[in-house]
Chain A
Amino acid sequence: MGRVNRDALAADQAGGTSDERVPAPPLLYSPVNSNKWYSHRVGPSGSSRPNTSSWPPAYGSATYGCAACCSWVPTSFSLFYDPLGIPVGDGVPQGVEGFDGCELQYEDATYLFESGWSTANPSIATVDTHGLHTGMGVGSTTTLVTSEPIEVQIPHNTHCFLEQRSVEGNDNITPNIASISPAQGLIGTTVYVTIIGSGFGSSPTVNPGTGIGVTINYVSGDGTEIQANFQIFATATGGNQPATVTNGNQTSNAVNFFVQIPTSLSIVPGTDSTTAESGCTTSGQQSGCGVTRTFLYQVNDQSGQPIRVANMAFGDVICTTSTNQLNLTGYQTTCGGTTGSCSGTSGPCGAFTDANGQFTETLLVCAPACKPSGTCTTAGQTVSNQTWYINGRALSSDIKSLSYQCNKILVNGA
């Protein structure tokens, strides 16, 4: 690693005397690190010794007497990670970096420390000759790594010296979560969750994220499974929450638990049907024509994924816009009642989703305006906005536009 001092090299390239020039030393390719070029140099004092100085081929020559040693700064070696977190049962690589006095930057020096790795407590963590650590049991230990003799630079000294350096660091072997199932839950509900992994111990704690309470119901004897209730409060933050398991003072990797918020409804393909009512009678005993449309709605979350949860209470509110050519005087809705000048209420009212988070929607209209002279005809449309509520939450970003017509009912134009 020791190299000709760049200042000296620069002076040489700027016009040093010809008798000070020597041929470039032969270059040897390092089998350890292809970025390093090894040379055999003559030191400033005239003594010659093999060293591992690199010599950029482009430089071509060096200057006798002016070149000072540059190499690794001996006090700069440290482990990449301290402490190193290792999920129990997993392997995590560790390495050594040091300050390169020639390049004036920190570089990977792991190749100088091959075969010198050890841990203080192999029952907690082991390490191979390349620095790959394996977590054996939850807890803490230390790693010691010693280099081969390496060339280092000493301040105010033109010589590079060979030294063995040692570096020590801490290892924390943490519980390891492999999976969490289900990996999502509906806001405002309690979800029974199974966490699979290792190193959970006999009395772990589970932190499933903001706004989620936990009750642990079961921990397997070998510390590889936890069954718990996640109580997702109505105030929980939607989206991914980092769930972790802590055993003692060691905390596992985080695995996402997705908090679902009802956001939209989509019509399940293949469930849509429309039936014309050629002779309907209104509750006011008036003859008219109309139509019935039936389809299945799926409740979706904020990422558009279906929320497959039973017994979500729902309700809706329908408000007529200014277009009312069918002369509809109000709507009978699932929950009944009124909200302001609109028909319907948010519930709950005894209407709940099925086990797939779905429900059947039936829209029916009967209008005398569609039968002005004894036969069914078209008479324009009545347009209204329908706001759905799931578990009391308005799906305000998915307000449906309903167009009631004599022979069809459109939802959002379709």
Chain B
Amino acid sequence: MRAYFLFLLLFLPAAVAPAQDQSRDLRAQLDAPCLIYTLSARGLADAVMRVSKEFRLPAGIEWVRDKRSFKPLQRTWNSETPRQILSSIVRAYPGYALVVGDSVIHVFRRDLLADKGNFLNLKVPDSFTVHRQRGGLANMRLRRVVQNMIAASPSPPGAGEAFEYATGIHEKPLTLSLAGLTIREALDRLSSASEHNIWVVTFSDDPESVPSGFRRTLTLWHPTPLPISQQPVWDFLAWAEPLPTSSEKAD
């Protein structure tokens, strides 16, 4: 319960007037009746992503890639709402919880929420701005900022940086103020404002952290562990594009 309370506190500062509208929209979508819905998923993240895409519910997922969370799930719901469907999915995976934020639903493992090794609790530096930039590129730049924060050897003085971002989605330019927010809140803002509506942080079940103490992460697109210089990584997915399937297999 304390974790839930902390989680809600973490999200309260991000609430602004437009977010209240989004919150109303989100809750309306969550409580809309559904006649029948059948799901066949290869684990928790896959299940939540599919529901998010099916019902157009922006989602943030923090999960650990282990055997428990890869348990296949096949089920049909009759006359239940998306909220009830999500709740029953999360109940199928012990240790996980569902919280409906202002504009994004969150599925997370409870013990990771306030974990000091969870980079999502870091703050976005004041220097980070998003001015008329595509959401996908802003996400890439945010990831680079976090990588620089937790990397063993950050960029040397005088080093320049280059980004290459390609997308088949027609993304509108965004101007957002994310400074001071946690990375989790920043991802929520990006996913609710951009065409990328799902963010997924996949933590490795490898107990060894990166040297700075943060948990290692993986991408959904391939199971290969990433080098420390590429930590952390997360997936920023669009409803309009195919969901990852290739790496959704238990170890």
A interface list, Cβ under 8 A from B: 281-286, 288, 290, 297, 310-311, 314, 316, 318, 326-338, 344, 347-354, 358-370, 382, 386, 404
Q: Are A365 and B166 in contact, CB atoms less than 8 angstroms apart? A: no
User: Of the candidates B145, B221, B238, B244, which one forms a contact with A283 in the assembled complex, judged by CB atoms under 8 Å apart?
Assistant: B145
Closest chain A residue to B238, Cβ basis:
A350
Q: How far is the CA of A372 from the CA of B150 in the complex (A)?
A: 27
Q: How far is the CA of A283 from the CA of B147 in the complex (A)?
A: 9
Q: Are A358 and B154 in contact, CB atoms less than 8 angstroms apart? A: no
Contacts of B134 in A (CB 8 A): 360, 362
Interface residue stretch chosen among B23-31, B183-191, B229-237: B229-237
Q: Are A350 and B166 in contact, CB atoms less than 8 angstroms apart? A: no
A283-B144, A337-B226, A359-B168 are known contacts. Are A352 and B241 too (CB-CB below 8 A)?
yes
B15, CB-defined interface residue at 8 Å = no
A283-B147, A332-B144 are known contacts. Are A368 and B159 too (CB-CB below 8 A)?
yes
Q: How far is the CA of A386 from the CA of B166 in the complex (A)?
A: 13
Supply 8 further A-B pairs (C-beta < 8 A) apart from A286-B155, A364-B165.
A286-B159, A310-B168, A327-B160, A328-B159, A332-B143, A333-B164, A360-B171, A369-B160
A283-B147, A284-B148, A286-B157 are known contacts. Are A350 and B221 too (CB-CB below 8 A)?
yes
Within 8 A of A (CB), among B67-99: none
Q: How far is the CA of A337 from the CA of B224 in the complex (A)?
A: 10
Q: How far is the CA of A353 from the CA of B170 in the complex (A)?
A: 10
Interface size on B, residues (CB 8 A): 47
Contacts of B162 in A (CB 8 A): 318, 328, 330-332, 363-366, 382, 404
Contacts of A310 in B (CB 8 A): 168
Q: Are B241 and A311 in contact, CB atoms less than 8 angstroms apart? A: yes
B169, CB-defined interface residue at 8 Å = yes
Closest chain B residue to A334, Cβ basis:
B166
User: Of the candidates A283, A314, A369, A382, which one forms a contact with B166 in the assembled complex, judged by CB atoms under 8 Å apart?
Assistant: A314
Q: How far is the CB of B199 from chain A (nearest CB, A)?
A: 12
Closest chain A residue to B137, Cβ basis:
A362
Contacts of A332 in B (CB 8 A): 140-141, 143-144, 161-165
Contacts of B141 in A (CB 8 A): 283, 332
Q: Are A328 and B160 in contact, CB atoms less than 8 angstroms apart? A: yes
B158, CB-defined interface residue at 8 Å = yes
Q: How far is the CA of A330 from the CA of B153 in the complex (A)?
A: 13
Contacts of B140 in A (CB 8 A): 332
